[in-house]
Chain A
Amino acid sequence: MTAHNNDDVQQKNRNLVRKLVLIVVAMFGFGYALVPLYDVLCDVTGLNGKTNETAVAETQYPVDKNREMTIEFVTSLNESTPMTFYAVTPKLKIHPGQYYTVNFIAENKTDKPLVAQAIPSVSPGLAAEYLKKTECFCFSQQTFAPHEKKTMPVRFVIDPKLPERYKTITLAYTFFDNTDRNQ
């Protein structure tokens, strides 16, 4: 043991510290690596209730007229986004495989132009991948003139492969005020 042979110990300390600092730097990087890892994991496992972010092509599915389920639409505003926002039809009985169009209405309550982004979320989360949207106001930011009121359609289909245990699906939209980011 060489605890008291100074040069030797100092060399050992230097080597060890180098390795430990490397661990620290690597773990800092790992924290950032968790961000894409999380997205990939959610993507692969279908967790987190995220729906398609761009329009999918309208493919035809066999319509199962015997199977009926409920889809609910929930709307909310983030923090103090100055809008009114609601679904014209809050609740709908649907058949998997059939296409439906529903309307959402949003209004800018201010005297200034408003840029807003709607973020969708599906509950239960694992059902999200079976909900396909061919048209949605959430695919891009929406610009509202002062006091403009817009009717915005969403066209969607539920893939008939959706497991039988899902009887009700909730599609929620939250509008985020993005005006400041766009200036």
Chain B
Amino acid sequence: MSAVIAEHDEHHDHGPAKGILRWIITTNHKDIGTMYLVFSLIMFFVGGTMALIIRAELFEPGLQFVDPQFFNSMTTMHALVMVFGAVMPAFVGLANWMIPMMIGAPDMALPRMNNMSFWMLVAGILLMASTLFMEGGGPAAGWTFYPPLVLQTGKAFPFAIFAVHLLGISSIMGAINIIATIFNMRAPGMGMMKMPLFVWTWLITAFLLIAVMPVFAGAVTMLLTDRFFDTSFFDAAGGGDPVLYQHIFWFFGHPEVYIMILPTFGVVSTIIPVFARKPLFGYTSMVWATGFIAFLSFIVWAHHMFTVGMPIAGELYFMYATILIAIPTGVKIFNWTATMWKGSMTFETPMLFSIAFVVLFTIGGFTGLMMSIAPSDLQYHDSYFIVAHFHYTLVPASIFVLMAAGYFWLPKWTGNMYNERIARLHFWLSAISINILFFPQHFLGLAGMPRRIPDYAVQFADWNMISSIGAFIYGFSQLLFVYIVIDTIRGGTGKATDEVWEDASKHSLEWTLPSPAPYHTFTTPPTKIPSEHLD
């Protein structure tokens, strides 16, 4: 420990640069991590505001607040902002902060590219947001950009496509950086199978990113040339096929949803052992299950398209392949439960969010299993049932776990303890309201309410009203998180210890560092490598 600090003092570039330039030109992984996290939190509220516009409109049947075009624009932009602006950058932020500290590296492998990928993200999101103010409004064909509908977008169309390009390049650069860091920057003795699971899941996620983001970039480029350069990739009149777009999109899209969930698995696998005071159960099987899920994500894409008129053989193949995903996912749920089994559990806020994740993600998983069954999917397709399904796998999963990660590492980042009392209030408000928000949407979907429509038949009124009430409680209770973060930065409830959580340093390297983590860490590699193995 003291060696780390001593080494640090010998360097010339000590602290951060002063003023605003520190943030613009920084190549420090902690600074960039912080910028990613703050940016994604802002985007979380931007996307959340759009969600509340949607829920306000759906509070009652009929058209109240917005016109249908703008409503569709909101569903589209809500998804794009949440996926590309909030969830993905938040995990990149965590990766930037935590991966070097977890593997005993002094920084990311490619610090300058790191800075560039962050600012490209900002540019991409700003470009995307600017489309809302263009003639004809923002893109309103859904985040999937299906042709021919998306080709009817107004002036915003090419800007939305270029925004997607920028976001894609940004996340590809981030992914390359993470792979290089994990492969080349590990401390001596940090073998691959000793890495914390958060590092492992990110490594696999990064490979998914560099494999599928270019395919998406290709698909939207084809849309662009179809609209402006008379190609006919997806235009039936010129010999193309709009269904082809769906195949290409979902070849990207299915791995993409795992890009948002695999790091979640990693964070949970890092948090639960600490609060159960046991090593993670089944470390090796966790790594393999993650890899297997990643592999399967490439061969199941057409389960998003059961209704396009595939022949029966295709439907069956994609159905069975999809059902297969339940096995490695089940392994993970089992391992988390087994980690908690007979553990000396305490229920600090990160643990509460993690346990809620295990329970609620399982619900989302089961509804996924229902929809993997091709003949039933014909009923669920494009209804509120699918909306409920993927929100259960994203909000009480990815978002809850991002909150858990925030509370878990905030003391390490700031050196101060957060206010546990308000944090628990945040948790309980979130956990209850999220179910009020999304559970009724299962009923609506099963009863036949279609998604992406600003109006609905009167028999759907009651559950929609309940859902909207849940949405507003959930949305506003997230402001507590902002309050807690600011309060913690300003001192919180007192200084945090280096280890923060009891015996956390037995699980992972970052807890062997001082709190707050110094600007430069592990300039000399650590000597003792903790691990989750039972040895």
Contacts and interface: CB of A to CB of B under 8 A. Distances in A.
B176 A28 contact: no
Contacts of A32: 218, 222
Nearest to B248: A34
B309 A123 contact: yes
Contacts of A168: none
B180 interface: yes
Contacts of B186: 1, 3
Contacts of A57: none
Interface stretch (A14-22, A63-71, A83-91): A14-22
A30 B247 CA distance: 13
B525 A3 contact: yes
A181 B230 contact: yes
Contacts of B378: none
Contact of B106 (A4, A24, A119): A4
A40 interface: no
Contacts of B361: none
A82 to B, nearest CB: 15
A109 to B, nearest CB: 18
Contacts of B241: 38, 48
A119 B248 contact: no
A20 B176 contact: yes
B311 A47 contact: yes
B4 interface: no
By size class, the interface of chain A is 35 or more
A126 interface: yes
A27 B247 contact: no
Given A47-B310, A125-B309, A34 B247 contact: yes
Contacts of B187: 1, 3
Among B104, B148, B247, B311, which residue has the most Cβ atoms of chain A within 10 A?
B311
Contact of A27 (B180, B184, B211, B236): B211
Contact of A13 (B109, B216, B217, B238): B109
A175 B251 CA distance: 30
A31 B237 contact: no
Contacts of B222: 32, 35
Nearest to B184: A12
A32 B245 CA distance: 11
B215 A35 contact: no
A75 to B, nearest CB: 15
Contacts of B215: 27-28, 30-31, 34
A152 B148 CA distance: 28
Nearest to B211: A27
A143 interface: no
B324 interface: no
B314 A24 contact: no
A119 B237 contact: yes
B153 interface: no
Contacts of B523: 4
A144 B297 CA distance: 49
B128 interface: no
B51 to A, nearest CB: 31
B210 interface: yes
B485 interface: no
Contact of B110 (A17, A117, A123, A126): A17
B242 to A, nearest CB: 11
A24 B184 contact: no
B65 to A, nearest CB: 29
Interface string A146-183: 00000000000000000000000000001011100100
A3 B110 contact: no
A125 B308 CA distance: 11
23 contacts: A3-B188, A4-B523, A4-B524, A13-B109, A17-B180, A23-B210, A23-B211, A24-B176, A24-B214, A28-B217, A29-B218, A30-B214, A31-B215, A31-B216, A32-B222, A35-B233, A48-B241, A49-B309, A119-B237, A125-B311, A174-B236, A176-B236, A181-B237
Interface of A: 1, 3-4, 9, 12-13, 16-17, 20-21, 23-25, 27-32, 34-35, 38, 45, 47-49, 78-79, 117, 119, 123-126, 174, 176-178, 181
Kindly list the 5 A-B residue pairs having the minimum CB-CB distance in the complex, ordered from nearest.
A31-B218, A176-B237, A1-B188, A28-B214, A31-B215
Given A30-B215, A35-B233, 7 more contacts: A3-B525, A13-B180, A28-B217, A30-B218, A34-B215, A38-B241, A47-B311
